[in-house]
């Protein structure tokens, strides 16, 4: 669900399953990156884009170039979580985002990341205009270049 307000964000619910946890029932740290990836994919889908279609029609893909994660509190087996995604800035070939994994009103993990648009050879290329326009529309600060 894309939400409006002072800043636009996308929210995606996640349930913690046994496969997500370690022997103590705590979510393994790398699984938060999986939750974040799924949330970004669903954001694109709700904006009208599927990763497979972008790759097939435009010959490009969005890849994580940089991510910084702050692990604040653990999630546990059977927790109901929410991943919030915000587009912070849109550049020629990159998108800056913030993602937060929450349980109720409690931040568990905060992430800042940059997505890069790449061609099939792995070289950076400009974002497709229609993707860029939608990202700019929902971005907190609008375009930066």
- Which helix (H) or strand (E) segment is 42 a member of? helix 29-46
Active site residue 140: no
Q: CA 35 to CA 38: how far, in whole Å? A: 5
Q: Are 96 and 104 in contact (CB under 8 A)?
A: no
Q: Beta strand 9-15 with 2-3: parallel, antiparallel or unpaired?
A: antiparallel
Residue 110: how many other CB atoms lie within 10 Å: 16
Q: Are 101 and 74 in contact (CB under 8 A)?
A: no
Residue in 22, 96, 104, 145 annotated catalytic: 22
Active-site positions read 22
């Amino acid at each position: 669900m894309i939400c409006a307000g002072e800043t636009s964000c996308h929210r995606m619910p996640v349930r913690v399953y046994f496969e997500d946890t370690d022997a103590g029932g705590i979510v393994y740290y790398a699984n938060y990156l999986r939750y974040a990836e799924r949330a970004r994919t669903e954001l694109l889908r709700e904006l009208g884009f599927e990763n497979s279609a972008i790759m097939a029609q435009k010959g490009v893909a969005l890849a994580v170039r940089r991510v910084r994660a702050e692990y604040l509190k653990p999630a546990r087996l059977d927790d109901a979580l929410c991943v919030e995604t915000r587009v912070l800035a849109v550049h020629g070939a990159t998108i800056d985002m913030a993602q937060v994994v929450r349980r109720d009103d409690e931040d568990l993990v905060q992430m800042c990341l940059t997505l890069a648009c790449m061609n099939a050879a792995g070289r950076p290329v400009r974002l497709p205009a229609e993707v860029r326009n939608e990202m700019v529309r929902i971005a907190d600060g609008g375009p930066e270049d």
